Structure 1
Amino acid sequence: MSVLPDENKKRFIAVLSKKMELGRSLNVLGHLSVGLSSQLEANESQYVDYEDMDGNLHPNLSHYPFIVLKADNSNKLRKVREEAISRNIKFTDFTSSMTEGGSILQQQRTKEIKEADLEYLGVCIFGDTEVLREFTKKFSLYK
């Protein structure tokens, strides 16, 4: 078994709008997670395999915590996005323009909306725990 870095040094944090119903929240979280993980370099995050007593493999789970928080509204999500940009933190975001139809239609719809008018449904970030806490500590856990 290889030596892993301290699992508390980095983390994934997703902040979701509390105004969404559960099914939509899970869909948004899935899109955010896949999108963010595709941006990470091979050595940036750590993934581990688990093996049960019967020898079955449970592969490729994040060594780092993945925390899900909730935001009251789109503007609070926009601020998380802005902080990520200003601090050069890798992120993904998801807006209401990305919910209906296929990705081509969603891209066209999004392009027709000014950023200030976008309704953010979620933002997902990855980075050093202490840095991320500086601007996410005000959010509560998604329950």
Structure 2
Amino acid sequence: MSVNHQQGSMMEILPDETHKRFIAILNKKMDSGRTLNVLGHISVGLADLLPAGEAKYVNYTDMDGNEHPNLSHYPFIVLKADNSNKIRKVREEAVSRGISFTDFTHTMIEGGSVIQQVATALTAEADLEYLGICLFGDTSVLSEFTKKFSLYK
């Protein structure tokens, strides 16, 4: 089902929002400040990674004419993982299926991005503690390997 969306003076036809989605899976062992930081990093990273037009964004206008711009047309679901290895398995599945994703590990916490890149380069993948992953793709495909996670509350 397609939905018409008023954007400016032209009508845009949007795809069915149930066919694709963003899914973030966060390690439940983090405090709320770190959790929000990780979610922010992986979300903006994934948005920048996607080819132009793959994700759809819409503007909302309130009754007073104020614009609330560029919100995702597709659902953004946040799930929780019990530990790093569960996120690692999701990452492996995303890689094997060619699904767009970004992830965040413990080596990306201290110092600026240059220091974090060095720390990551000096750490074997098996020793990385995964704090989060964000994926974008077809709902049916993502559900095959993310349905076992519960909503982050």
SS in 2 for 1:3: strand
Q: Distance in 1 between matches of 2:122 and 2:52?
A: 35
Q: CA deviation at 1:26?
A: 0.3
Greater strand proportion: 2
Q: Distance in 2 between matches of 1:110 and 1:41?
A: 26
Q: Distance in 2 between matches of 1:108 and 1:77?
A: 22
Q: Distance in 1 between matches of 2:48 and 2:89?
A: 23
Q: Distance in 2 between matches of 1:114 and 1:42?
A: 33
Structure 2 counterpart of 1:47, one-letter code: Y
Q: Answer yes or no: is 1:96 the counterpart of 2:106.
A: yes
Correspondent of 1:110 among 120, 123, 126? 120
Q: Which has the larger radius of gyration?
A: 2
| Corresponding residue of 1:15 | 25
Q: Unaligned stretches of 5+ in structure 1?
A: none
Deviations, residues 24-78 of structure 1 (Å, cap 9, x unaligned): 0000000000100001111211000000000000000000000000000000000
SS in 1 for 2:13: coil
Q: Answer yes or no: is 1:63 the counterpart of 2:73.
A: yes
**TM-score normalized with structure 2 length:** 0.93
Q: Unaligned stretches of 5+ in structure 2?
A: 1-10
RMSD, aligned α-carbons: 0.5
SS in 2 for 1:2: strand
Percent of aligned pairs with the same amino acid = 73
| Corresponding residue of 2:59 | 49
| Corresponding residue of 2:5 | none
Structure 2 counterpart of 1:76, one-letter code: K
Q: Answer yes or no: is 1:39 the counterpart of 2:49.
A: yes
Q: Which runs of 4+ in 1 moved over 3 A?
A: none
SS in 2 for 1:48: strand
Which piece of structure 1 moves more, 39-48 or 14-23?
Answer: 39-48
Structure 1 counterpart of 2:23, one-letter code: I
Structure 2 counterpart of 1:98, one-letter code: M
Q: Distance in 1 between matches of 2:51 and 2:131?
A: 26
Aligned length: 143
Q: Distance in 2 between matches of 1:17 and 1:94?
A: 10
Q: Answer yes or no: is 1:126 the counterpart of 2:126.
A: no
SS in 2 for 1:45: coil
